[in-house]
Amino acid sequence: MLGIPTPGVPAPAIPVLAPTLPGALPRAMTARIPPLIGVTLDAEPPGGYSKYPWYALRANYATAIAAAGGLPMALPHDTALAPAYLDRIDALVVTGGAFDVDPALYGEGDRHATVTLKEDRTTAELALVRGALARDMPVLGICGGEQLLVVALGGTLLQHIPDSVPDALEHEQANPRDQPGHPVAITPGSLLHRITGQAAMQVNSAHHQAIRSPGRFAKVNATAPDGVIEGIEDPRYDFCLGVQWHPEFLIDPGDRLIFKALVTAAGG
């Protein structure tokens, strides 16, 4: 490096501060900058961490993105700021949480007794997802984020798997979430298949809802042995991917590849 003496080697006879060459790019434009990956936060009511409303994010969302070469950035729930965030981030990750998408958003007037909402969060996330898709920005939906993504794409949800799927697997697994709950079969030729190079994955399972229909444009890319849809993608976009499991736990080798593919699509 210029100006940094190496022990035992005479310093080169060049100025420490080299003059800026005409046409040289600023350092920020030449250094390798990790793409900025926006990650939606969860929202919690007063209690626990704070006596006032607070945001939450499981740490492994951020560490999985960083390990893949991305720069994670948490996104608060401010619908009015969605365009400004989208101007800055290079990809969007829509996270999960212990709540459901309002069935009215996919045309169902009745709400199952188990359905709970976080309406302000959903409103802000919809603005981010719709804005990201309009820009053809890479989008990864995880668990509840996958369900929101498919609704934004025109799909519909099963409001409660045990009431809709005979002989369903235990999709709210009893064992810890850093262990697999069931396998999924990956659709040959899908984006998910190209990313993982695998015909099947072992995934965790922490959901009581699932996709009923991916809608007119999105395609199913992963299915559980009981037929429950476990992933979707929309080939109208360069990278529009949703998975029903939580790849940030990095259980299957394919999980790491999903984040790597997202960061690569974001310019990393």
Q: How far is the CB of 225 from Mn ion (least distance, A)?
A: 10
Considering beta carbons, is residue 120 or 170 the nearer one to Mn ion?
Answer: 170
| Residue 55 near residue 74, CB atoms below 8 Å | yes
Phi, psi of 240 (to 5 degrees): -130, 100
Letter string b/e over residues 96-119, b meaning 16 or more CB atoms within 10 A of that residue's CB: bbebbbbbeebeeeeeeeebeebe
Cβ closest to Mn ion, residue 205 vs residue 264: 205
Task: Return d(Cα 65, Cα 12) in angstroms, integer.
Answer: 41
Q: What burial class does residue 168 get, using C-beta atoms within 10 Å of its C-beta: 0-12 exposed, 13-18 middle, 19+ buried?
A: middle
Applying CB under 5 A, which of residues 122, 205, 221, 264 lies at the interface with Mn ion?
205
Closest residue to Mn ion, Cβ-based? 205
Report the 10 Å Cβ neighbour count for 180: 18
Q: Give dist(CA 261, CA 257) in Å, integer.
A: 6
Stretch that binds Mn ion, among 60-68, 85-93, 145-153, 200-208 (CB under 5 A): 200-208
Stretch that binds Mn ion, among 91-99, 130-138, 197-205, 234-242 (CB under 5 A): 197-205
- Decide: 92 and 132 in contact? Cβ < 8 Å: yes
Residue in 77, 171, 182, 246 annotated catalytic: 246
Q: How far is the CB of 215 from Mn ion (least distance, A)?
A: 20
* Residue tagged active-site, from 77, 143, 182, 233: 143
From the list 105-113, 190-198, 203-211, 256-264, the region that binds Mn ion by CB under 5 A is 203-211
Using the minimum distance from each CB to Mn ion, give the nearer residue, 89 or 149.
149
Closest contact distance (angstroms) between CB of 224 and Mn ion is: 5
Which position among 77, 121, 171, 246 is part of the footprint of Mn ion (CB under 5 A)? 171
By rule CB under 5 A, what count of residues binds Mn ion? 2
143 is catalytic: yes
Beta-bridge mates of residue 263: none
Provide the phi-psi class of 144: left if phi over 0, else alpha when psi is between -120 and 50, else beta: alpha
- The span of 31-39, 117-125, 151-159, 205-213 binding Mn ion (CB under 5 A) equals 205-213
Based on the residue annotation, tell me whether 246 is a catalytic residue of this protein.
Answer: yes
Q: Which residues are catalytic?
A: 143, 246, 248
Binding site for Mn ion (CB under 5 A): 171, 205
